[in-house]
Amino acid sequence: MNIPNRLTVIRLLSVPVFMGFLNVDTVATRAAALLIFIGAGVTDLVDGYWARKYNLVTPLGIFLDPLADKMIITAAFISFVELRELHIPAWMVVLIVGREFLITGLRGVAASRGQIVAADDGGKFKTSVQNTAIITILVALIIASVQERFWGLPRQTLYARDGWAADAARILDWVPYGMVFAATVFSIVTGVSYLRKHWDVLRESA
C-alpha cells in the first residue's frame, strides 16, 4: 500500500476516534475533535497531491478517498444531532446525508455506462460550506465548554443574565443552527444541479 492510500486509511480510522472525542463534553476532548477534523482535511490535501505528483493513483485510492471524506463529514453532522446543546434538527442532517447517497448512486450508474460524473464548482463549494460549518460548530462547542468549566457560566443560567454572557449564549445557540441550515441548503441546491446536468444518465438507464 502506497503512502497516499495509507494516509486515506488513517483518515478512515480517525472517524470513530473523532466521534468519541466529540461526544465527551470537556475542553480537551472537544479540542481534540477539532484537531482530528482539521488533520483529516490536511491529509486529504496531502495524499491527493502526493498521488498525482508521483503517479500513485490506484483503484483502491479512487474508492477510499471520497469514502473517507464523506465518512468524517457524515459522522460530524450525525454527532451534532446527538448533542442536545446544539439543537440541530435531524431533518437537516437527513437531507445532507441523503444528497451524498443520491450523488454517489448517480456516479455509480454513470460508471456502469462508462461515464464519469466529476465534481463541479458547486459541489466543491458545498464541501467548503460543510467543512466551514463543522469547524465553526466545533469551535463553538469549545467556547461553551470553556465558559462552563473555567468561568463557571453554565449555558442554562446564561439567559437569565444581562450583558455579554447572555449574548454569547445566544450566539452559541444560533450559529450552529444557522451553519447547518446553510450546509443543508447548498446540499439541496447542488444535488438538484447534479441531477439536472446528468438526468440523461438516469433516463437512459431507466
For 31-66, the pLDDT digits (tens) are: 999 999 999 999 988 988 888 888 888 888 878 888
Burial bucket for residue 193 (CB in 10 Å: 0-12, 13-18, 19+): middle
pLDDT of residue 205: 67
* pLDDT tens per residue across span 127-136: 899 999 999 9
Cβ atoms of 158 and 168 closer than 8 Å: yes
pTM of the model: 0.87
Superfamily of domain 3-205: CDP-alcohol phosphotransferase transmembrane (TM) domain (1.20.120.1760)
Assign 118 a pLDDT band (cuts: 50, 70, 90): low
Q: What is the residue extent of each domain of the chain?
A: 3-205
C-alpha cell at 109: 450508474
Burial bucket for residue 2 (CB in 10 Å: 0-12, 13-18, 19+): middle
